[in-house]
């Protein structure tokens, strides 16, 4: 186990932000922390990074490195008027690390950015800034990184590119990654283990695929001319502009898809829709 936070409590005055929170993370795996805005995700990450102190509980990080854990809290705190090199140099000095040309090129290539750009990073896209923030988090080779809402504001291509980068860091470098989000689809294909936090408490945890599967209430079917399908009309599907919603409680989704194919319909995708009220609810798994 690379990181263990056990029985973490944190209050601000009479407001209890974290309540007996426990998470366990193993080397080289990707973990998700999901919950509504204000559930306590950022506070927990600030505690893990040592930015604030918990009121009670313990944190153990099994690392002998110079920097056991790195991360990005909310948006990367970058200097817009400096270049990528200038930003890395400032943060390297803060971490008592000499930024050689070799290290700069290595850091930029690691996150898929060009080391040749000399302009101020205020000209960078949000996705590029996220990558640069990740390069800073990876200085001094931490064994674990935490990423607080890293996909916020990114377009689909940016999300896909960041997904690929995070997977690469985990698989090739054996870095443990903990990602927070309040959007389910961003964590579905990325995380192995999911922790669900609600009102400062971890209320569910386990396999991400299983947790999401248990809380699927509808499937969104996309295809051509679906409004002409007699199959969909027979299962009380809800017809939207370019898609259809089918409830698995009323019918077997595999059977519906098979019947659509037999009917001659061209289905391009079938996307499970997670019920957030059920996922973020108080039921234990």
| Whole-prediction pTM | 0.84
Q: pLDDT tens-digit profile of 35-77? A: 888 899 999 999 999 999 999 999 999 988 889 999 988 777 8
Average pLDDT, the chain: 90
- Do 165 and 111 contact (CB within 8 A), yes or no? yes
**42: helix, coil or strand?**
helix
- Domain 3-212 coded CATH 3.40.50.300: yes
- Do 44 and 21 contact (CB within 8 A), yes or no? yes
Overall average pLDDT of the 212-240 stretch: 88
Q: Which long-range contacts (CB under 8 A, 24 or more apart) does 162-169 make?
A: 162/127, 162/130, 162/131, 163/189, 163/190, 165/111, 165/112, 165/131, 165/134, 166/30, 166/190, 167/30, 169/110, 169/138, 169/145
| pLDDT at 135 exceeding the cut of 60 | yes
Residue 250: which pLDDT band, with cuts at 50, 70 and 90? low
Q: What is the pLDDT of residue 247?
A: 85
Report the sign of the C-alpha dihedral through residues 15, 17, 18, 19, in that order.
positive
Residue 282: which pLDDT band, with cuts at 50, 70 and 90? low
Rg (the chain; Cα; Å): 22
Q: What is the pLDDT of residue 278?
A: 76
- Do 249 and 272 contact (CB within 8 A), yes or no? no
Q: pLDDT tens-digit profile of 158-214? A: 888 889 989 998 998 899 999 998 777 778 788 999 999 999 999 999 998 888 878
Angle between helices 126-137 and 156-173 (to 10 degrees): 20
């Amino acid at each position: 186990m690379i990181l263990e936070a056990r029985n973490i409590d944190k209050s601000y005055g009479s407001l209890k932000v974290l309540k007996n929170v426990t998470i366990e993370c193993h080397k080289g795996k990707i973990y998700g922390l999901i919950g509504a805005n204000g559930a306590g995700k950022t506070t927990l990450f600030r505690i893990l990074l040592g930015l604030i102190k918990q009121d009670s509980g313990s944190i153990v990080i099994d690392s002998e490195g110079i920097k056991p854990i790195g991360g990005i809290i909310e948006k990367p705190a970058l200097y817009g008027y400096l270049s990528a090199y200038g930003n890395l140099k400032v943060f390297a000095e803060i971490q008592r690390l000499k930024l050689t040309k070799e290290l700069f090129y290595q850091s930029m290539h690691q996150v898929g950015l060009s080391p040749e750009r000399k302009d101020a990073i205020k000209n960078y896209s949000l996705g590029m800034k996220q990558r640069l923030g990740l390069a800073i988090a990876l200085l001094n080779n931490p064994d674990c990184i935490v990423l607080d809402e890293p996909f916020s504001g990114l377009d689909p291509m940016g999300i896909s590119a960041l997904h690929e980068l995070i997977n690469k860091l985990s698989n090739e470098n054996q870095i443990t990654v903990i990602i927070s989000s309040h959007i389910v689809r961003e964590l579905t294909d990325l995380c192995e283990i999911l922790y669900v936090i609600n009102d400062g408490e971890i209320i569910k945890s386990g396999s991400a695929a299983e947790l999401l599967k248990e809380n699927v209430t509808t499937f969104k079917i996309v295809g051509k001319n679906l409004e002409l399908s007699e199959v969909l009309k027979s299962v009380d599907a809800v017809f939207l502009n370019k898609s259809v919603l089918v409830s698995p409680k009323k019918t077997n989704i595999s059977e519906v898809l098979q019947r659509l194919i037999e009917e001659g319909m061209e289905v391009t995708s079938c996307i499970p829709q997670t019920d957030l009220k059920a996922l973020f609810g108080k039921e234990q798994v």
